[in-house]
Chains A and B, each alone.
Chain A
């Protein structure tokens, strides 16, 4: 049932204005995170730890490394398949992500022109190799972040952080942000729609209008926070946000953690491709 909802959403995106698109894409990712698969059931702490180990290992490869990074695609592929995450949706998000890494990386081929490889007569410069390495790292690390949220849910991540002794105020801040993100985006979307109806397809608002709009939104947000505070008080709030957690580290968590650590270590330390290549040659 969920799947059909997803595809219906995806289809209708094309005709939507950009704000709505952002909003629904965010909602979609959020919805994915409430599935019930083996990966989703793991303790959030396990997934946070594995993600960090993975990202650290990937970026620890030196500048000109390409082939050593390839085996690491195993991680996203496993999560995609075991966690029932639609591949195209995440890939699209990876592509539209803020392209800072690519903007900076693209200079490498122009600055580092010394030939590094000669591939059947074509010279490949170090700059292209290092740029390619940045690209692979970019895809791997960005999808790791998206997959963490898609398989853990934001509150899950927060409770994981809480158990990892991140300060309470910060955890409750994250929880509030998550809770009201969707509420405020909906409110903003209504304003933007009303504006779009009257502004005949302009790319944005005049700065004066923008300031007033944001000002109004700000005041409304303040008033909302007063109402929330009132609701909190009436339910016994006295400065601390207590939360109740059922998560606990299970056997599966320990196994997954060990498995990932060993794999990351092996992939980092041994040249898998070289070995495989070697085995292949031997077989032929």
Chain B
């Protein structure tokens, strides 16, 4: 094993990803500045303000990234159980010593900062998952293997659900893409998609009608495929499962979901118009983005965000400022940058010689994708309001550091892709 001594620490580091990372951080900072801009008190580096703090976060994130690039590459695979264990401990700790903010016990106060353990659980879960799957005894045909991989994902999800921070927990489910890439049956994706569609239909249509429709479709299918005996039992089984699923969705929706979650879904589906309550955020967010028109109102000219019509404007709803001040063109640029980054990460993952690095790369892509899609989707009314940040752009130290760790570990692995781990 020959270690190539790097001429500098950025030797062999993927420059494209690096630039995309920096671009998103800067876009984030500019828009946080605009969102909380106060003309009477404009000081770009005032540490009392969100943009001043975010500036510190970005600098420290860059330092964190550099540190990771300096670390020995073997560290990540060998220490992945340790990282995972620490994350789980922190997730347990937050339930005990955490501070409750807005109904979620998600932060551990450390001095003047607050640490959000769920952000760090993301990279450690990806690492352990990669470590587990890349070991040869993982077999996608084996229920035990798949179950164990699922357990790695579900453990942090369960702990986060206890906070309860449903949004963060949901993002872990995106790791199904990783399993799929590594050989999990495509049916899982199909079943997942069907589950989402049935979920929505259950809420939109009456149960009786939906079940009748389902039985009708199943009947037609059975008739069409009556010569192919092997289809009969899956169709009947699927239909029965679906009917159970419909009832359980209905039950969950009515009895398990919090009232505000229920309303958020209803608002999204257009079943209720609650512009003063749960629908207020989305409505104001759509107004801000929609009023940006093609070219936007210009830097610092946005009124909806600046004058507090949009809540959580520098964290979860930061995309409103992008849409309002930079218009469709600016939104397109941001969406384009994310898509570019996601494609780049998949490209990086696929060029790895070690399956650990590849699996980890898909984990990074999945986590970033789900944040990107749900966050922007909720600001424009595509998905229900789920409070998760927009990676690298939203205000917040924990999330920026969490995503930086996630990405830079991949870059470190990639820089060493010719070596053997």
Do these two chains interact?
no
Give chain B's interface residues, CB within 8 Å of chain A.
none
